[in-house]
């Protein structure tokens, strides 16, 4: 509906009232100076007016399209809570869901893990801690939109939650400053915050989480932190049906058992050699990885072996 508005309609919505930024005016003036060598003041004035109106309409049309975009992954999520990380109590979790993580960008460059996902002595750690210095740039892991920009004194400190079109949400905790605003659209790799030591933290680091419909996912199942790269382009979220709890894991079957194993391809590897090493067959490797016996193995890629 909004996208079908003509520029004439957009002008009438504007009421022919131009409230442009100085950057918009400069853009229009540059456009006009390239188009005319006329010296007539009247003609130039007319062109300035037309140029300003065009910039105004283009700006408004872009904003109207933005308003129509809505929120990422609306087909999965029922709402847009701007206060809490865990905002999906009672939501229906699918048995499995394939998530495209191919556009992932490391939130911290050249970082190492200081604390893994998993149980701690008194509580469960739902993310992976990455070493940084206070003030280091933190980047968005995927394209997305800022859902939460908040502060939690006894937990995350200053933190952000981003929702992404692939269905994931990412959490960035213990920040020292923000570089984005609530509800802002961001691109993968865009600076969104500065690293810090706020909240429940014993030293500067980034607490980083993956979540799907509120359920925490072990970042180590998606990211190879030694290589600082994703393990595979696709991640399969599988619901754990044992008891009343859920486990988010692309490396487990639906009952949480039979851990799936991967092999990272190295120089000289062949399907036959890998099959012999892990006590399996080439045909099984091909089936698990949707390969042919003649497929080329790419260095650094992860090959599923069980």
Q: What is the pLDDT of residues 152-167, one digit of tens each?
A: 999 999 999 999 999 9
Q: Are residues 123 and 249 in the same domain?
A: yes
Residue of higher predicted confidence among 243 and 200: 200
302, containing H or E segment: strand 302-304
The span from the CA of 107 to the CA of 144, in Å, is 14
pLDDT for residue 185 is more than 90: yes
Residue of higher predicted confidence among 2 and 199: 199
Rg (alpha carbons) of the chain, rounded to whole number: 25
Q: Are residues 164 and 30 in the same domain?
A: no
- Domain of 221 in residue numbering reads as 96-253
pLDDT for residue 237 is more than 70: yes
What's this model's pTM, rounded to 2 decimal places?
A: 0.62
Which of 62-66, 99-103, 284-288 comes out lowest in average pLDDT?
Answer: 62-66
Residue of higher predicted confidence among 10 and 83: 83
The confidence score (pLDDT) of residue 303 equals: 81
279: left (phi over 0), alpha (psi -120 to 50) or beta: left
The span from the CA of 280 to the CA of 282, in Å, is 7
Q: Are residues 227 and 284 in the same domain?
A: no
Residue of higher predicted confidence among 67 and 291: 291
Confidence of residue 231 (pLDDT cuts 50, 70, 90): confident
With respect to residue 144, please indicate whether it lies within any of the assigned structural domains: yes
Which of 46-50, 116-120, 179-183, 210-214 comes out lowest in average pLDDT?
Answer: 46-50
E-state strands within 153-294: 157-163, 168-178, 185-186, 191-195, 205-212, 215-217, 223-224, 229-230, 234-238, 262-264
Across the range 123-149, mean pLDDT stands at 96
Confidence of residue 260 (pLDDT cuts 50, 70, 90): low
With respect to residue 77, please indicate whether it lies within any of the assigned structural domains: no
Q: Are residues 11 and 140 in the same domain?
A: no
Confidence of residue 71 (pLDDT cuts 50, 70, 90): confident
The confidence score (pLDDT) of residue 27 equals: 55
Across the range 47-55, mean pLDDT stands at 46
Mean per-residue pLDDT of the chain = 78
- How many structural domains are present in the chain? 3
The CATH code of the domain that includes 232 is: 2.70.70.10
Q: Report percent pLDDT > 70 for the chain.
A: 71
pLDDT for residue 277 is more than 90: no
Q: Are residues 134 and 208 in the same domain?
A: yes
Q: Are residues 105 and 193 in the same domain?
A: yes
The CATH code of the domain that includes 271 is: 3.10.350.10
The confidence score (pLDDT) of residue 300 equals: 65
The span from the CA of 281 to the CA of 274, in Å, is 9
């Amino acid at each position: 509906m909004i996208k079908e508005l003509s520029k004439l309609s957009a002008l009438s919505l504007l009421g022919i009232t131009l409230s442009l930024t100085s950057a918009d005016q400069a853009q229009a003036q540059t456009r006009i100076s390239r188009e005319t060598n006329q010296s007539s003041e009247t003609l130039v004035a007319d062109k300035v007016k037309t140029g300003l109106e065009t910039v105004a309409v283009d700006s408004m049309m872009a904003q109207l399209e933005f308003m129509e975009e809505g929120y990422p992954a609306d087909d999965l999520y029922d709402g847009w809570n701007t206060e809490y990380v865990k905002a999906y109590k009672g939501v229906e979790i699918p048995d499995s869901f394939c998530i495209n993580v191919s556009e992932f960008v490391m939130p911290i460059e050249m970082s190492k893990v200081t604390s893994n996902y998993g149980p701690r002595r008194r509580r469960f750690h739902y993310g992976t801690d990455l070493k940084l210095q206070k003030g280091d740039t933190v980047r968005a892991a995927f394209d997305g939109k800022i859902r939460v920009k908040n502060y939690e004194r006894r937990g995350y400190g200053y933190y952000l939650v981003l929702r992404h079109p692939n269905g994931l949400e990412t959490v960035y905790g213990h920040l020292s400053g923000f570089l984005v605003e609530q509800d802002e659209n961001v691109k993968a790799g865009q600076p969104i915050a500065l690293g810090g030591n706020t909240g429940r933290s014993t030293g500067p680091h980034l607490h980083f989480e993956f979540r799907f419909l509120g359920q925490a996912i072990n970042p180590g199942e998606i990211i190879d932190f030694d290589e600082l790269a994703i393990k595979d382009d696709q991640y399969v979220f599988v619901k754990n049906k044992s008891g009343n709890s859920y486990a988010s894991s692309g490396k487990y079957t639906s009952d949480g058992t039979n851990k799936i194993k991967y092999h990272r391809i190295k120089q000289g590897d062949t399907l036959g050699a890998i099959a012999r090493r892990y006590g399996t067959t080439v045909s099984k490797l091909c089936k698990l990885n949707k390969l042919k016996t003649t497929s080329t193995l790419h260095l650094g890629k992860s090959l599923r072996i069980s």
